[in-house]
Amino acid sequence: MAKLKKLNLCVLISGNGSNLQALIDACTVPEFPAQIGLVISNKASAGGLVRAKKNQIPTLVVDHKAYPTRADFDRVMTKAMEDNSTELICLAGFMRLLSDAFCDNWRDRMINIHPSLLPSFKGLGVQQAAIDAGVGFSGCTVHYVRKEIDTGPIIVQAAVPLKSFDTADSLAARILVEEHKIYPHAVRLIAEGKVTISNERALTADNDRQTQSLINPPIEN
Ligand code: GAR
């Protein structure tokens, strides 16, 4: 049987890397259409680096503090990714802003995961912001990256209901469970060529299969 041509990913992290782990786990399945060629962290202490090394994935630390400008930092990362033949960048808890030139260079080849239902609740502290706003659902979003923070065509979202007793931590934990499902799902859709960007919307035929509405609080029956 012909060997599956896999989409070559570079995952950018700054911390624990539980989303990186979800991608690593997905990539261990032989039929999964992507592989992780490189993991880059801007922090040498990031727990995600240990996860990568355990799985024999090449790692690189690019410490942003070592570079005078954001553009210099971004150029070093781009060189490493080009040398590694990166086809898709996955930001997974990468807590650095990227330069406009970097976003342009990797346009439609860079995705991010964010713990809210974008375009609501951009930036940091988004779980507390969702609680404070009193929304019935928050969730998570995988989207293509544009220059403005937490913007870009939305590929996959998962809705998570809020509970009256939620804290930022309890909500973050429930959202994270869904993040670990939708990040590999989004990568698969892209790798299988199912996502088309049109008028800044990321469309897949699979969207039309979702017919279930969610109501919170639920209607008694
Ligand atoms: C995740 O919740 C991710 O969505 C969030 O950081 C966490 C990283 O966790 N990213 C952002 O807030 C980016 N705007 P992880 O290191 O365990 O994957």
Residue 221 domain flag: no
Do residues 124 and 194 share a domain? yes
Among 83, 106, 129, identify where a domain stops.
106
Annotation marks residue 143 as catalytic: no
Domain count across the chain: 2
Range of the domain at 124: 112-207
Phi-psi region of 219 (alpha: psi -120 to 50; beta: other; left: phi over 0): beta
Q: What is the CATH number of the domain that holds 167?
A: 3.40.50.170
Q: Is the separation of the CB atoms in 177 and 16 below 8 Å?
A: no
- Tens-place pLDDT, residues 30-52: 999 999 999 999 999 999 999 99
Query: What is the rounded distance in angstroms from the CA atom of residue 18 to the CA atom of residue 129?
Result: 22
Residue with CA nearest ligand 1 atom 6: 93
Token output for 165: 């007793």
Residue 215 domain flag: no
Reference 94, options 53, 49, 36, 37; nearest CA is: 49
Among 71, 106, 141, identify where a domain stops.
106
Do residues 139 and 171 share a domain? yes
- Tens-place pLDDT, residues 167-214: 999 999 999 999 999 999 999 999 999 999 999 999 998 888 988 999
Do residues 151 and 83 share a domain? no
Among 106, 141, 168, identify where a domain stops.
106
The response to whether residue 179 sits with its C-beta less than 6 Å from ligand 1 reads yes
Residue 151 domain flag: yes
Reference 175, options 187, 160, 165; nearest CA is: 160
Cα(219) to ligand 1 centroid in Å equals 33
On whether the pTM is more than 0.85, the answer is: yes
Cα(56) to ligand 1 centroid in Å equals 23
